[in-house]
A and B are shown apart, each in its own frame.
Chain A
């Protein structure tokens, strides 16, 4: 069992290393000349371009660059955003990619985490209900709905919710993100003076934050809810057959108590760990939702960096990739180990519950 856990940790470390190599190779192979961020490529002399490359460190051999990159990565330094790089007093200054990506990761994290909580709040009661009354009208109805939900694009769900709930009926805020902390006076003044018309007024506070995230959370939950409901149902039906359930019933426990204490508790644990394994897909779905609802999350940060007017902002693109993929690898590892703690037989069987196709995003 310990060996299994150690092997999983080892695999995770190897995966993280491969990830660093892959992102570095992408960085080397992308046809983008970062010198353009420091000098005007069209007018600059070759010497100036070479100087720019020297400042950015892109003229050194690949191996040296990789070594520097790895050292920085291990120190948590993700470099500087290219469009903001300035050469000033013999020093290279610019916006730190680490901070940018960290802020974005918090937004995506809030979206995904809140979405999963909402999802479980919907899926577990519905799945339980369907499982306790197999082949009833409710059961068949939820099955039909889940078939339809699997075929619905999350983008479409988001756009329609935004269009009707947010914009036409004005029940919930249609887009924008509010910080958890209240915005400073200075930022509001700056918004009044300089912001172009149509820009959202800076807002903040727990209430506003949750209120603005409600529609994204609903979109997220709606995409996954069908799948999770079916899984809760299947797990429940499985556990309902177990001998301890019969024992509990024979002892005269009420049906509610049997379901809550004996069945749900045993059925739910693997489902919670499954959310961690779904993290990869969740980040993809979050990308759609961030785009639709204008949330400054990881996906949106990356697309902005890809579509910038001055060219690609490679450090940001790669940092988002590294952070997202590393989060997924770590979450999968945690899920594996938690699953192992719940059910030690996993070490022999390998992890079960492979999900069906039709859901990759």
Chain B
């Protein structure tokens, strides 16, 4: 769909193209939204942070891997100190996976043979295995963001179809769809996600699209999407319900346009900006859901890193928890993923909020 579609946009474009220099310059809704968004300093800051984040977890992760010369699943025994405490941030460790010395269970090991290179662990080691925490946060962010964005897309697609049908046709179809959304909304979402995620897989966990996404991602995308579509559905429904009373819909019906055409070309462009803003908020929610579901043992499985599995790895599962131990537990391993989750969710929420205000035609700014 062309970004400046919609009745209002085409009208304003027509006015602009006439080239009246002294007439007030009318802009398309997207240009207007962009101008409003630029004025919202918090939203701009969050948007920049999100761009940096997407770059960091996308091309940035393999780039950083090239620079430091080790992968997210390589382990460094020398990054785990006496008493099995993982090293803290800014650790330089021996770049070897072999432990020197005769006794592998000794507390202190002699240094590796001369000539062993050293390597940097920017945020320290991730566990007793001594993997690079920073790389795992980057790759984990990739998995978490993929799941969150994918699930939001699935939810919005289902929401558009069901919401548009319910809002446009009304009557018993609307009643049925509304009842179903009420039903799904009333249920404890997390309970269902954990249950469905553990009970049913149908081999979906192994769908990686030729290595494009990690194992388990596709399944989680589908499950989360299938249980969160009711938010976009409600929005689309209420918007379309108020729009279909408008004159331009009547006009379109009068000239004989089909229902599907009215919905596609006359109604959806009005809902799209709002959906974009809501989609951003949905991504934030989905990150929280992914973290929760993975922590509860129904999401991404180790050794694949995700922000949820980083937390789960530190604290263990219900059946074999890693209890707190003052010698081996380091707060970094809880703090680092927590901060990553917080910053991302915060930025998404604020950016989505700014987007919603900027695209709202009733907004005064």
Contacts and interface: CB of A to CB of B under 8 A. Distances in A.
6 contacts: A150-B349, A164-B331, A283-B191, A287-B188, A291-B318, A324-B191
Interface in B218-253: 228, 231
A222 to B, nearest CB: 13
Nearest to A306: B198
Given A147-B349, A280-B186, A153 B179 contact: no
A114 to B, nearest CB: 19
Interface stretch (B13-21, B115-123, B208-216, B286-294): B286-294
Given A18-B183, A306-B195, A332-B186, A357 B296 contact: no
Contacts of A306: 194-195, 198-199, 297-298
Contacts, number: 158
Interface in B158-195: 179, 183, 185-192, 194-195
B189 A360 contact: yes
Nearest to B192: A321
Interface string B298-335: 10000000000001000101110101101001010011
A152 B292 CA distance: 12
A360 B289 contact: yes
Interface string A279-313: 01101100110011010001110111011000010
B80 interface: no
B8 interface: no
Contacts of A321: 191-192, 195
A360 B342 contact: no
Nearest to B344: A151
Contacts of A61: none
B342 A153 contact: yes
B200 to A, nearest CB: 7
B137 interface: no
Interface of A: 11, 15, 18, 26, 29-32, 147-148, 150-156, 159-160, 162-164, 166-168, 174, 198, 280-281, 283-284, 287-288, 291-292, 294, 298-300, 302-304, 306-307, 312, 317, 320-321, 324-325, 328-329, 332, 357-361
Interface string B332-360: 00110010011001100110100000000
B195 A302 contact: yes
Contact of A288 (B200, B284, B295): B295
Given A148-B346, A306-B194, 4 more contacts: A148-B342, A153-B291, A168-B331, A358-B284
A292 B321 CA distance: 10
B228 to A, nearest CB: 6
B145 interface: no
Q: Dominant SS at the B interface?
A: helix
Interface in B1-20: none
A326 to B, nearest CB: 11
A159 B315 contact: yes
A26 B199 contact: yes
Nearest to B179: A11
A307 B317 contact: yes
A168 B326 CA distance: 8
B282 interface: yes
Contacts of A163: 324, 329, 331, 334
B342 A361 contact: no
Contacts of A30: 199-200
B292 A302 contact: no
B285 interface: yes
Nearest to A156: B338
Interface string B17-54: 00000000000000000000000000000000000000
A280 B189 contact: yes
B199 A357 contact: no
B348 to A, nearest CB: 8
B278 interface: yes
B281 interface: yes
A299 B198 CA distance: 14
A307 B319 contact: yes
B57 to A, nearest CB: 18
A303 B194 contact: yes
A157 to B, nearest CB: 9
B187 A312 contact: no
Contacts of A174: 324
A26 B338 CA distance: 34
A325 B190 CA distance: 12
B324 A151 contact: no
A307 B228 contact: no
A156 B342 contact: yes
Contact of A359 (B198, B285, B331, B338): B285
Given A26-B199, A160-B338, A288 B292 contact: yes
Nearest to B307: A153
Task: Give 3 nearest A-B pairs by CB, closest first.
Answer: A284-B190, A151-B346, A167-B324
A283 B188 contact: yes
B323 A324 contact: no
B89 to A, nearest CB: 17
Contacts of B295: 155, 288, 291
Contacts of B195: 26, 302, 306, 317, 321
Given A198-B323, A291-B296, A360-B231, A151 B191 contact: no
Contacts of B335: 160
A300 B334 CA distance: 21
Contacts of B321: 294
Of the candidates B188, B326, B342, the one having the most CB atoms from chain A within 10 angstroms of its own CB is B188
A151 B342 contact: yes
Contacts of A358: 281, 284-285, 349, 352
A361 B288 contact: yes
B346 A307 contact: no
A307 B350 contact: no
